[in-house]
């Protein structure tokens, strides 16, 4: 049973349950056995609540599309009464909640059996998951010397290792797509406000952050998005309405599209040659499917966006720390180096800088909207500028928050594509279409115009059918 769980997507597992071929309890037992066997090497699954999961099964699961499928939620956000959280931080360890968040309530209604949380870096900052509160780094199932990505790094590792078929994540600067690229999975960031943020937050990082899912198949993501999409009560804004939904969109290929291809960064700098070739190979695949593929480079002020993103996230980090300890500086035994650096950096900013930075993000979104309006339907690039980094490279030891984000060896140099679409609010996805010579996954990134989630996920499904990745499994998954 454990082996089957590791090789099957959530849609198929739910079908087994519906047919009576397996029970939710048997699936949960298999997931727990996989945690016991694989998690010690990975450090991905934390705060287990086996009793909560067994009680949910005994009381009767909702008749949703994933009834009986084991599930994990990220240890950052996704607030839930039955699932205390560390939020990736010693300062916020063992936080409890008086009510469920809107996103968790919708996830729960799909019938999944949630039994724990997955690791996240402190504050959700970074392209690796190495938080002190968990006692060590989270490692990549494809190579334990490499990172599984961040900030949904535990989710990516758990799915790639075959512990669960699908897991919750969130994405404020690539935090679903980076682990997807690092772990050989599918990761989709919806249009801004497609999924609910309340009631614990009005918006995440000025609207740049949104929930999402790490999956093995496009159909799992499509069905889960349909189950969870839509504004919650009192939301400050909402995404454009869907036409037929994500699941309907993947039922047949989209119209033939104009694909803009970029095998450099979006500012024209070179990327790792194996990654650049993966982008070009994806372009050839799309051409073979009848799409028109042409070089493209957006005319948008990426450096301005990166500065604004860095300032907004730094201020948000400082606000979270201040809410817990007041006006004093955080101590080293409470907050890791990058978080302390973000707090100190935020203290140097003028009080008007936050609104100025939000305005710059909005201006950047209009620039990107103009690019898609006058140019391609889809922009094809890499997800990361190189294969997955080694463990320790993006640890949170440094207190130089700005260099950690935007320095020559920082996060934006490593991941120069993802945060662009958090800033613009446009949908974007990472597809596992290539592997390095060293056997590490390489993600290929597709992005569409604001609100065009159905077009994008329909294309992702077409690519999946043309170049299936389901048969590729990380060594630790067996």
At 2 the pLDDT is 45
Listed in sequence order, the residues at least 6 apart from 58 whose beta carbon sits closer than 8 Å to its beta carbon are none
pLDDT in tens, 50-87: 999 999 999 999 999 999 999 999 999 999 999 999 99
Q: Both tokens of residue 29?
A: 């037992």
Q: How far apart are alpha carbons 181 and 11 in whole angstroms?
A: 22
Q: Both tokens of residue 160?
A: 């790639």
Task: Of 96, 118, 133, give the one whose Cα is nearest residue 333.
Answer: 133
Phi/psi at 180 (nearest 5 deg)? -60, -45
Q: How far apart are alpha carbons 288 and 282 in whole angstroms?
A: 10
Determine contact, residues 452/430, Cβ cutoff 8 Å.
no
At 5 the pLDDT is 67
10 Å CB burial of residue 30 (0-12, 13-18, 19+) is buried
- Mean pLDDT for 251-273 is 97
Task: Of 260, 252, 281, give the one whose Cα is nearest residue 467.
Answer: 281
pLDDT in tens, 97-139: 999 999 999 999 999 999 999 999 999 998 999 999 999 999 9
Q: How far apart are alpha carbons 338 and 123 in whole angstroms?
A: 9
- Mean pLDDT for 427-448 is 98
pLDDT tier at 478, thresholds 50, 70, 90: confident
- Mean pLDDT for 167-190 is 98
pLDDT in tens, 208-231: 999 999 999 999 999 999 999 999
pLDDT in tens, 267-320: 999 999 999 999 999 999 999 999 999 999 999 999 999 999 999 999 999 999
Active-site positions?
74, 151, 175
Instruction: Tabulate helix, strand, coil % of the chain (nearest 5).
Output: 40, 15, 45
In CATH, which superfamily holds the domain spanning 2-301+359-477? Amidase signature (AS) domain (3.90.1300.10)
Q: Both tokens of residue 140?
A: 């990549």
Task: Of 392, 410, 339, 405, give the one whose Cα is nearest residue 122.
Answer: 339
The answer to whether the Cα torsion of 196, 201, 202, 204 is positive or negative is negative
pLDDT in tens, 306-320: 999 999 999 999 999
Phi/psi at 371 (nearest 5 deg)? -60, -45
Instruction: Determine if the pTM surpasses 0.75.
Output: yes
User: Is the pLDDT confidence value at 3 over 70?
Assistant: no
User: Is the pLDDT confidence value at 194 over 50?
Assistant: yes
Q: What average pLDDT does the structure give for the chain?
A: 97
Cross-strand bridge partners of residue 269: none
Between the alpha carbon of residue 104 and those of residues 144, 259, 328, 378, the distances in Å are 31, 35, 33, 31
């Amino acid at each position: 049973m454990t082996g089957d769980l590791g090789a099957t997507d959530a849609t198929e597992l739910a079908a087994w349950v519906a047919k009576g071929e397996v029970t939710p309890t048997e699936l949960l037992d298999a997931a727990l056995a996989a945690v016991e066997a694989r998690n010690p090497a990975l450090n991905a699954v934390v705060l287990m609540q086996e009793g909560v999961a067994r009680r949910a099964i005994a009381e009767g699961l909702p008749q949703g599309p994933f009834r009986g499928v084991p599930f994990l939620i990220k240890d950052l956000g996704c607030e839930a009464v039955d699932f205390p959280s560390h939020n990736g931080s010693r300062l916020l360890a063992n936080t409890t909640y008086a009510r469920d968040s809107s996103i968790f309530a919708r996830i729960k209604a799909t019938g999944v059996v949630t039994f724990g949380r997955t690791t996240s870096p402190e504050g959700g900052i970074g392209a690796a998951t190495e938080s002190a509160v968990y006692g060590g780094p989270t490692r990549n199932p494809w190579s334990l010397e490499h990172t599984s990505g961040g900030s949904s790094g535990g989710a990516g590792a758990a799915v790639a290792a075959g512990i669960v078929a699908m897991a919750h994540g969130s994405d404020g600067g690539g935090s679903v797509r980076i682990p997807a690229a690092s772990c050989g999975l599918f990761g989709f960031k919806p249009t801004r406000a497609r999924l609910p943020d309340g009631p614990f937050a009005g918006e995440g990082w000025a609207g740049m952050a949104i929930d999402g899912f790490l999956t093995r198949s496009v159909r799992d993501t499509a069905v889960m998005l349909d189950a969870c999409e839509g504004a919650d009560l009192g939301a400050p804004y909402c995404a454009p309405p869907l036409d037929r939904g994500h699941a309907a969109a993947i039922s047949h290929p989209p119209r033939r599209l104009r694909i803009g291809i970029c095998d450099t960064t979006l500012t024209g700098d070179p990327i790792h040659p194996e990654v650049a070739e993966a982008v070009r190979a994806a372009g050839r695949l799309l051409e073979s499917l009848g799409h028109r593929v042409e070089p493209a480079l957006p005319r948008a002020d990426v450096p301005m966006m990166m500065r604004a993103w860095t300032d907004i996230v730094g201020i948000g980090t400082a606000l979270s720390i201040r809410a817990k300890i007041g006006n004093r500086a955080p101590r080293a035994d409470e907050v890791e180096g990058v978080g302390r650096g973000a707090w100190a950096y935020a203290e140097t900013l003028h009080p008007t800088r936050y609104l100025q930075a939000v305005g710059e993000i909005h201006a950047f979104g209009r620039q990107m909207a103009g690019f898609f309006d006058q140019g391609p339907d889809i922009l094809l690039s890499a997800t990361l500028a190189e294969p997955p980094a080694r463990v320790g490279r993006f640890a949170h030891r440094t207190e130089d928050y700005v260099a950690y984000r935007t320095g020559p060896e920082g996060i934006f140099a490593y991941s120069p594509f993802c945060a662009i679409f958090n800033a613009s609010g446009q949908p974007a996805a990472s597809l596992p279409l290539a592997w390095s010579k060293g056997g590490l996954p390489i993600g290929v990134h597709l992005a569409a115009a604001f609100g065009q989630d159905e077009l994008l996920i329909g294309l992702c499904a077409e690519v999946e059918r043309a170049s299936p990745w389901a048969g590729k499994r990380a060594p630790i998954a067996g």
